Amino acid sequence: MTDTDITTLAASAHTASVDRQDRAAGSVWFGGLAAAAAWLIASLVTTSRPDVGDWSRTDEFAIALMVIAAALAVAAIAARWVDPLAMRLRAATPWLIVIPLAIAAWEAVTAKFPVLPQPFFPPPQALIEVYTDDWLRLGTSVLHSLRLLAIGYLLGAATGFLLGVSLGWSRAVGYWVHPVLRLIGPLPATAWLPLAFFAFPSSWSASIFLIALATAFPVTILTWSGVAGVSGAYYDVARTLGANGRFLVLKVAIPAALPHVFVGLFMGLGASFAVLVVAEMLGVKAGLGWYLQWAQGWASYGNMYAALLVMALMCSGLITLLFRVRDHLLAWQRGLVRW
């Protein structure tokens, strides 16, 4: 097969794909109608029989499900004329069907039939009750956690980045710091809890130290690996053009190591979240970790699950933001790793 034949086949395949997309975008979104039916089923399950417990947001929850079903039905018809809407919604069709069916099953085994024991498994309207009735305490906890996480994570990321660049660039720094890093780096940050709460004047500062410590180690190791792995040919070309040591670090080593740096930042963010919850449970008087412990102490499992959902959304949102920054700085790697 010649190159011309391969080019012709590729062009034909691309044209066929475009034609299929055009036909799909110009028709009714039947998957949306199925999704609307699924959300309607979830609403009917919610109102099908009285609750076995005392849940105050059942009617509001059923109305919300019905509104989503109506919105999807309208979108299914409007997708015939709005191409961007059609392409976005068609890709999410399976999830838009599975989610309401899962909600219906959750509602059935918790609020309608006593299959799962209470209060350990509250129904979905119990979470809505938390968001409507306890939003002030939960929102305050979110703000405290975000502030604590931001300070600790940024301090740990900055420290790990500077230390990793120094280790990758300077043999002298590597000689003295590497053994210490190998000794204390693999230890989990939570192992330092007793010493941190003794050494620091407040639980707040101790928590910041623990979060920074959990973040700094992966950022240091990955930054060090990235700087040390830069090809020597880059330095040779830069020196030939008259570059000094500062230029080599700032304009050659660091840009080339950025993919590794962002991997360390992603790992550090996950580690910092784990330490955040533990630190807030043990010492801090506010935050999502404190909220989880408070809810568990009062057997308010609806509050606990609501806080876990907020924490998951917060973590996912921060990782998404970090990916946006990564895609902006590393445009040549955009789309290589997705979130």
126 in a structural domain: no
| Domain shared by 159 and 281, yes or no | yes
| Domain shared by 111 and 148, yes or no | no
Domain end point (choices 52, 84, 118): 118
Q: How big is the chain by its Cα radius of gyration, in Å?
A: 27
| Domain shared by 176 and 322, yes or no | yes
| Domain shared by 240 and 297, yes or no | yes
| Domain shared by 163 and 108, yes or no | no
| Domain shared by 153 and 114, yes or no | no
pLDDT of res. 161 = 96
290 in a structural domain: yes
129 in a structural domain: no
The string of pLDDT tens digits covering residues 115-168 is: 988 889 999 999 999 999 999 999 999 999 999 999 999 999 999 999 999 999
pLDDT of res. 65 = 96
| Domain shared by 183 and 302, yes or no | yes
| Domain shared by 147 and 192, yes or no | yes
125 in a structural domain: no
128 in a structural domain: no
Q: Which domain holds residue 182?
A: 135-333
Residue 282: which CATH number? 1.10.3720.10
| Domain shared by 112 and 165, yes or no | no
Which positions of the chain have pLDDT values less than 70?
1-26, 83-86, 283, 332-339
Q: Are 122 and 54 in contact (CB under 8 A)?
A: no
**Residue 125: exposed, middle, or buried by beta-carbon count in 10 A (0-12, 13-18, 19+)?**
buried
17 in a structural domain: yes
pLDDT of res. 86 = 65
Task: Count CA atoms within 13 Å of residue 295 on its CB side.
Answer: 24
What is the 3 state secondary structure string of the chain?
A: CCHHHHHHHHHHHHHHHHHHHHHHHCCCCHHHHHHHHHHHHHHHHHHCCCCCCCCCCHHHHHHHHHHHHHHHHHHHHHCCCCHHHHHHHHHCHHHHHHHHHHHHHHHHHHHHCCCCCCCCCCCHHHHHHHHHHCHHHHHHHHHHHHHHHHHHHHHHHHHHHHHHHHHHHCHHHHHHHHHHHHHHCCCCHHHHHHHHHHHCCCHHHHHHHHHHHHHHHHHHHHHHHHHHCCCHHHHHHHHHCCCCHHHHHHHHHHHHHHHHHHHHHHHHHHHHHHHHHHHHHHCCCCCHHHHHHHHHHCCCHHHHHHHHHHHHHHHHHHHHHHHHHHHHHCHHHCCCCCC
pLDDT of res. 208 = 92
266 in a structural domain: yes
| Domain shared by 189 and 219, yes or no | yes
Q: How many domains does the chain have?
A: 2
- Which is nearest to 337 in space by CA: 329, 102, 327? 327
- Which is nearest to 110 in space by CA: 63, 61, 39, 46? 46
pLDDT of res. 283 = 67
304 in a structural domain: yes
End-to-end CA distance of the chain: 38
Domain end point (choices 67, 89, 118): 118
| Domain shared by 104 and 152, yes or no | no
Domain end point (choices 118, 153, 176): 118
Q: What contacts 197, CB < 8 A, 6 or more positions away?
A: 203, 206, 282, 283
Q: Are 222 and 168 in contact (CB under 8 A)?
A: no
| Domain shared by 85 and 147, yes or no | no
